[in-house]
Homo-oligomer: A and B are copies of this chain.
Amino acid sequence: MPNPPPPPRRVTIPDVARHAGVGQATAARVLGGYGSSSAATRERVLAAAAELGYSTNAVARSMISGRTHTLGVVVADVENAYFARAVRGVTDVAAKAGLHVVLANSDEKGETEKSAVQMFIERRVDGLVVAPAATDHEHLDKAVAAGIPVVLLDRALSGAGLDTVVVDNRGAAKAAVTRFTEAGHTRIAVVTSASPDENATQLAPGADIWTTTERLTGYRQALRAAGIPRGAELIRHTGYDRTWARSAVLELMSSPDRPTALFTTDNVATLGTLDALLDLDAHIPGDVSVIGFDDAEWATLVRPRLSVVSQPVQELGGLAADILVRRINGSTARPRRHTLPTAYVPRESTGPAPARVRPLRAPGE
């Protein structure tokens, strides 16, 4: 098994210096764009460089400067539209600051995230954006200890003392569900891909850091505020699977005292929920009102158009990168939480509670 062959040797500064008939340091200065040099020598060096096809070795430069001009980004999954947009926000701001972005997917696995962070530390990234899947932060502390600023994205981590960029998930959810209660709904269900018991998983205590859990809390608060008894809570945990969400809603809506309003805490839950309602031939919002968390390009393509809670995803990523850039440039401001505003986008999937609850046709009938 032959080892990966080493890459070909490339043209270096000494090569250029020789070719230009100048000292190594002189060539380095003009090629590196620092110090000073006469216009004459500069031209000769540049000519020699062009002739030999010289190109900077950023690795060698990084070794000295200690800066790699690289940001590490850990998200659950770039394929997820939310993270794709967030990553775009990060890269845009990063690019403007001359930083590259290295991407890692954690798939919501704490261990994967940790090893990714470890790799990033070893690779000496200049900063780290993490949408945490792990509930502890030792690995992030290590990064900070190594001089790498860390910004949390989308999810907070209590007690981590890190810059954090989030939205008020709880408040946004509460506001959304309050639309339901104000419209007279009392049977309000929530469909979420959140795990029913966070503590049963690898997650540590204090799992209220998770967005969907926060949204669930907001849902509960809205009900409570409306005087709807705790026993009337209708919660369906579906796992991160569209077909499961569909099944859950199918079952949920087959009950005689089925809900008249549905709040979905995430995109997958929303997709599965709409699948089910379509299968049931449910009239929206006549039979049931729906509000989804997170806007989507298709939200205006379904009929009725879907009312949603939207968040400024790209801005979240951009702000995270922005904070990193500032810290890289020496800012020592106390880490804080940045909460960006969400917006409720009313469209057509919400209406008053129906006077009487029509039984819904079972699917496949």
Contact = CB atoms under 8 A, between A and B. Distances in A.
Interface of A: 2, 4-8, 10, 53, 55-60, 62-63, 65-68, 70, 77-81, 84-85, 87-88, 91-92, 95, 100-105, 118-119, 121-124, 126, 142, 145-148, 242, 271, 274-275, 278, 296-298, 300-303, 314, 328-330
Contact of A67 (B7, B8, B124, B328): B7
A4 B100 contact: no
Contacts of A70: 102
Given A56-B122, A77-B88, A300 B328 contact: no
A261 B45 CA distance: 63
A63 B55 contact: no
A121 B55 contact: yes
Contacts of A146: 7-8, 10, 55
Contacts of A5: 330
9 contacts: A4-B330, A7-B147, A56-B122, A57-B124, A58-B124, A59-B68, A78-B88, A91-B103, A92-B105
Given A55-B121, A301-B298, A330 B66 contact: no
A275 B301 contact: yes
A8 B148 CA distance: 9
A124 B275 contact: no
Contacts of A85: 79
Q: How many copies of the shown chain assemble into the complex? A: 2
Nearest to A79: B88
Contact of A78 (B6, B78, B104): B78
B66 A63 contact: no
Contacts of A275: 300-301
B301 A278 contact: yes
A67 to B, nearest CB: 7
A116 to B, nearest CB: 9
Given A59-B62, A81-B84, A301-B302, A8 B122 contact: no
Contact of A101 (B57, B102, B124, B298): B102
Contacts of A67: 4, 6-7
B105 A91 contact: yes
Contact of A271 (B87, B119, B301): B301
B298 A122 contact: no
A123 to B, nearest CB: 4
Q: Which 9 A-B pairs have the closest CB atoms?
A: A298-B298, A7-B147, A84-B84, A79-B88, A8-B147, A58-B123, A58-B122, A7-B66, A56-B122
Contacts of A88: 77-79, 105
Nearest to A70: B102
Contact of A6 (B65, B118, B302): B65
Given A7-B66, A78-B78, 12 more contacts: A6-B65, A7-B147, A59-B68, A59-B124, A63-B63, A78-B84, A79-B314, A80-B84, A81-B81, A100-B119, A103-B103, A302-B302
Contact of A297 (B78, B100, B298): B298
A303 B329 contact: no
Contacts of A148: 7
Contacts of A10: 146-147
A87 B78 contact: yes
A148 B7 CA distance: 8
A38 B296 CA distance: 59
B123 A100 contact: yes
A330 B59 contact: no
